[in-house]
Chain A
């Protein structure tokens, strides 16, 4: 994992919100899932760390035992203030990253295996160790090059937003249609916005 799964910029936040509302895909109440986010400017990178907790190991295990694949996704957004005269509209989205882990049980290995979005493969037997791993995205590095031209991103006023999305079921193709109509116990944390700290290397 730890690679930047870059998605296109745009005002997808509002569109997604509208779609969710319109299609009544309302997420169930977030039980205990919560997260912290820290962001630090280090050299030519912005380093983001997201750590979540509140996911029940037994619940995850039960899903995996039924033969489903679960997914933990870390949504990270880079924002910057809009230039005048549109400042009253707030921050604009520069980039959004969605690194994630797919978690499933491998009966041949007799272990819980994790496949990251970059193809990396991990396996665990200890449930606590597994939970600690999948609920943390440590030191996710975002190069300044994603900012493109213009002002120096290392000193520009930017903000980082993050949240964690837990899908107990990753639908196989075709059945993905179902996720349009229901959330299927999806849990997500609210967006948390932080201003990156100035670390070393500036």
Chain B
């Protein structure tokens, strides 16, 4: 039944799984960010995440799943309700999960692999390497041109008018080398004397002093990169001091540094990818497994919870149905759900309630009918002797009024008749009282063989041959000794009476085991005329008798005693051949082993009695 506690546990379980899922997803995101941000720089954080993801969570999930699977296997082995259906549901859920996740995994990894191969092909790598070579060629050409220009012999001549007309000198220099973007002249104390060209490339005196002469170097000023070369020349005569330090500057294209750095990085990426491509694809597979397997396990765990949720009302229904079939009509199923299953549960509860009420009515009706039948039969049985009593009384009265000579004889005969009929009535009422006041059996371990022997011996003294065969030495049953004697007496007595003085009665006994348990079986067989077909259905009914003077309560009492012992009684009969009554009384299991003559007791699957 779906109790409040179970509903609470289920809710907590589902919430726990949702929380786990959120935590796992968060960790996946964190880990992905770490990897994309270059994991090697943040090893500590990465290690924590990897350990959590790769070991702790999957381990935790595997532990829970293993526990649940073990429980499921145990439940199946014990045949607990819902276990098989739950197993099938889980397999179904697992197939659904795998059907969606496996192709997704294969496609994802294949996509990554294909993307890496197509986007980062060798051609692309060669193109980037070629781009870098071109950039390097341009750069080295600029360097060599600048160095060659600074070393050319006509430069000092061009500088000759720098003290008087620097603008003209700059124009001349640009005329000879159009690639020049600026020139700057310092004296021996690195005081700037002249500057021409792009002011953004101007060196401060400290930079100028630090520069090595005769070498082309790259500088960056205010975000602009340029090449510069330092040379010293003899100053024009008008200048003092006599040596000048001249810088020739060529600006690099805007963004050259950044582009060169990107090219270098891209090339390094391709070199690494080219070398580690295979390992990277394998790493992606493992990486994928790190995250997908816990998710699959999480899905499996959710499947367990969902199957529990689905099966709980079904199991409750199965359990309740079984109880109802066993006669417990007080069974009800409690539910807080509001879905189709709750409709089913409510319908079941209404049906059981209706069944209980109907059953009560039927029992009441049956009681009334039974009493009516008993009253009718009793009235019939009581009325039968009243007629001879009345006739005897009337005859005596008539003889008395006529003063007949044979009055005394008639009186004697009539009184005897009345006494006989009154005795019959008394016996009838005693039997009825016995039937109605039969006490419950006092069960104990009883060996049935002595009782069978005793009853057989009692009836063996008449004309009928009573055979006593195949009865084990010890037949221990859980029974009331006195009631067992009464059962056997009634059955054997009926058999002897049915067989007649020239007939034969055989008594057999044995142990039997059937699906209801183990029993001591007693068979009483006679070779009488058998029971007519029309009487067979009412053999055990009260007041049913074919014998003159019989009360018709004997077999009713026998049947009731046997039922009170949780046993069974039935008969097989054939008109003109005879009748066999079978009586099964539950064997005493505790003393069964000692009482049984042979472990290979008859095994049978018996139909309804």
| Chain A residues engaging chain B, CB cutoff 8 angstroms | 7, 12, 15-16, 18-20, 22-23, 66-69, 96, 104, 106-109, 167, 169-182
Contact = CB atoms under 8 A, between A and B. Distances in A.
Contacts of A173: 35-38
Nearest to A96: B44
B44 A175 contact: no
A176 B40 contact: yes
Nearest to A184: B276
Contacts of B54: 22-23
A167 to B, nearest CB: 7
A167 B39 CA distance: 13
B55 interface: yes
22 contacts: A15-B48, A19-B47, A22-B55, A23-B50, A67-B268, A107-B136, A108-B136, A171-B40, A172-B268, A173-B35, A173-B36, A174-B36, A175-B273, A176-B35, A176-B38, A177-B39, A177-B280, A177-B284, A178-B276, A179-B40, A181-B279, A181-B286
Interface of B: 35-41, 43-44, 46-48, 50-51, 54-55, 132, 135-136, 139, 218, 260, 264-265, 267-269, 271-273, 276, 279-280, 283-284, 286-287
Given A12-B48, A179-B40, A181-B283, 7 more contacts: A18-B51, A20-B47, A23-B50, A96-B44, A108-B218, A175-B273, A178-B283
Contacts of A172: 38, 265, 268-269, 272
Contact of B47 (A16, A69, A174): A16
B118 to A, nearest CB: 16
Contacts of B271: 66-68
A28 B402 CA distance: 144
A68 B39 contact: no
Nearest to B270: A67
Contacts of B41: 176
Contact of A15 (B35, B51, B218, B283): B51
A133 B332 CA distance: 85
A108 B260 contact: yes
Nearest to B279: A178
A102 to B, nearest CB: 10
Contacts of A107: 132, 136, 264
B301 to A, nearest CB: 23
Nearest to B273: A175
A178 B47 contact: no
Nearest to B34: A176
Given A67-B271, A167-B40, A171-B38, A178 B50 contact: no
Nearest to A107: B136
Nearest to B41: A176
A174 B273 CA distance: 10
Contacts, number: 95
Contacts of B37: 173
Contacts of B48: 12, 15, 19
Which 9 residue pairs across A and B have the least CB separation, nearest first? A19-B47, A176-B39, A67-B271, A12-B44, A176-B38, A172-B269, A173-B38, A179-B40, A176-B40
Contact of B283 (A22, A169, A170, A177): A177
A169 B272 CA distance: 9
A6 to B, nearest CB: 13
B287 A177 contact: yes
Nearest to A170: B40
A78 B447 CA distance: 91
Nearest to A12: B44
A18 B48 CA distance: 9
A91 B39 CA distance: 28
B397 to A, nearest CB: 119
B280 A15 contact: no
A69 B268 contact: yes
A66 B275 CA distance: 10
A174 B265 CA distance: 14
Contact of B43 (A16, A104, A177, A178): A16
B215 to A, nearest CB: 12
A167 B218 CA distance: 30
Contact of B46 (A7, A96, A106, A180): A180
A104 B268 CA distance: 10
A88 to B, nearest CB: 25
B566 to A, nearest CB: 64
A21 to B, nearest CB: 10
Given A23-B50, A172-B272, A179 B264 contact: no
Contact of B267 (A22, A67, A167, A182): A67
A174 B39 CA distance: 8
A21 B83 CA distance: 41
A104 B265 CA distance: 11
A175 B276 contact: yes
Nearest to A71: B40
A18 B50 CA distance: 10
B50 A19 contact: yes
A66 B132 CA distance: 15
A7 B265 CA distance: 27
Nearest to A109: B218
A109 B220 CA distance: 13
Contacts of A16: 43-44, 47
B496 to A, nearest CB: 90
Contacts of B287: 177, 180
Nearest to A16: B47
A167 B276 CA distance: 16
B75 to A, nearest CB: 35
Contacts of B51: 15, 18-19, 22
A167 B272 CA distance: 14
Nearest to B36: A173
B39 A106 contact: no
A23 B286 CA distance: 12
B279 A182 contact: yes
Nearest to A105: B264
Nearest to A186: B40
B39 A180 contact: yes
B139 A108 contact: yes
Contact of B272 (A12, A18, A175): A175
